[in-house]
Amino acid sequence: MNRHSFYPLFCLTILMVAVGQMTQTLYVPSIPVMAADLGVSSASLQAVMACYLIPYGLSQFVYGPVSDKWGRRPVLLVGMMVFLLGTLTIQLIPTATALLVGSFIQGLGTGAGGAMSRTLMRDRYSGAELNRANSLVSMGVIFSPLLAPVLGGWLTELFDWRAGYWFLFGFGALTTLALLAWFVETLPKERRQPLRVRAAYRHVLGNPRFQGNLLCLMATFAGLAVFEAAAGVLLGDVLKLSARTVSVLFVLPLPGYLFGAWLSARLSFRLSQGRLMRLGIIFLALGSLIILVPGLLGVVNAASLVGGAAVYFIGSGILYPTATSCAIEPFPGQAGTAGAILGGMQNLGAGVVTLLAATFPMQGQLGLGIIMTLMVLIVALSFAWLRHHGAPHEQMAT
């Protein structure tokens, strides 16, 4: 891996992904305050995450093939402009409906960064180097969801919840300027593909290796998203903790993801992808059970919520770069399309699961534990699918 060419691309990738991730989690500690200000229930604001994640996922189906045709740079710049428009919508129209509509527009914009974050590294790397590059990116992007809820809680207590959205607007504007100034196109003209969307999607989706890894990523991320959407309600409304306390508790599990991604990078040249995936699944299962068991006993406990999520996040940190690399590697000519399907379906699935979870009153952690456990079972089934179809997970990375 050429470090001199990697670091600028790495930093810009972290920035554009951070915009999307901070948008997804910055408001969570402020949910009770937002609900009171807008005259709605706290539980109904779980729909904000669904309104953000669904377009975030769907838009990537467009961004990916377009980027294979026209390049990555114009796609990223258009996406950032759409994001800024959505953020202004939330700020300038003070209603709950505008919050949902603005979140939808924000998701349409940040979908560009979501799709390209998987594609840019494939443009430059393959094999174990690709897995390591994706692991390093995963380690880098974890700092934005670590910072976002803490920042959101502090801004809410110092000013109001809208201060967090003004921060997002400023951060998005600075990221757009950084892309304009320093992003160098990663897809040369000679490698660009005709805009044959149907054929490209058929080629990628017809691969059993891609199918199994896609299902794994969808279920893993759905478990993360449901926790993020429910944690603010359980910690703030059920346990009656302050926005600042919720923000601190909310971020405590996230270093688990950093540790998992570090393990994935560290072990990528030593263990097969299959063994890495097994290790990740074990952590996912333990984490979901730590949350589920107190729920079965009718207990809502901050320690079990935070501890279980931390263990689940370790598994996610291992699985995410491993499954992403294995899924996208066979498609150097359709990296944009493959990355778009991964990001689109992953976030669309998480949005749908989160939206369904929002229809049930989150009065205890049993529902959260059940949903996260179901997601782990789907991950295990996806791994069984890969083994059944002989996908090359057991080969050592080279």
Residue 327 belongs to some domain of the structure: yes
- Structural domain for 90, as ranges: 3-183+196-388
pLDDT per residue over 340-382, tens digit each?
Answer: 888 778 877 877 887 787 776 667 788 889 999 999 999 999 9
Kindly report the CATH number assigned to the domain that includes residue 246: 1.20.1250.20
Q: Residue 228, Cβ neighbours under 10 Å: how many?
A: 23
- 131 is a domain residue: yes
Amino acid at 368: L
One digit per residue, the tens of pLDDT, for the chain of length 398 reads 555 567 788 889 989 989 998 998 888 888 888 998 998 887 778 788 888 988 988 888 888 888 888 889 999 999 999 999 999 999 998 899 999 999 999 999 999 998 888 788 888 887 777 877 788 887 777 777 778 888 888 898 889 899 999 999 999 999 999 999 999 888 888 777 776 777 878 888 888 889 999 999 999 989 988 887 787 778 877 888 877 787 778 778 888 988 998 888 888 778 777 888 999 999 999 999 999 999 898 888 889 999 999 999 999 999 988 898 888 888 877 778 888 888 778 877 877 887 787 776 667 788 889 999 999 999 999 999 888 876 544 443 33
| DSSP-based helix, strand, coil % in the chain, nearest 5 | 85, 0, 15
Is residue 149 a contact partner of residue 28, using CB atoms and an 8 Å limit? Answer: yes
Exposure b/e, 171-180, CB count within 10 A at least 16 = b: bbbebbeebe
Number of domains in the chain: 1
Residue 272, SS3 per DSSP: strand
Is 354 inside a domain boundary? yes
Is residue 218 included in any domain, yes or no? yes
Is residue 397 situated within a structural domain?
A: no
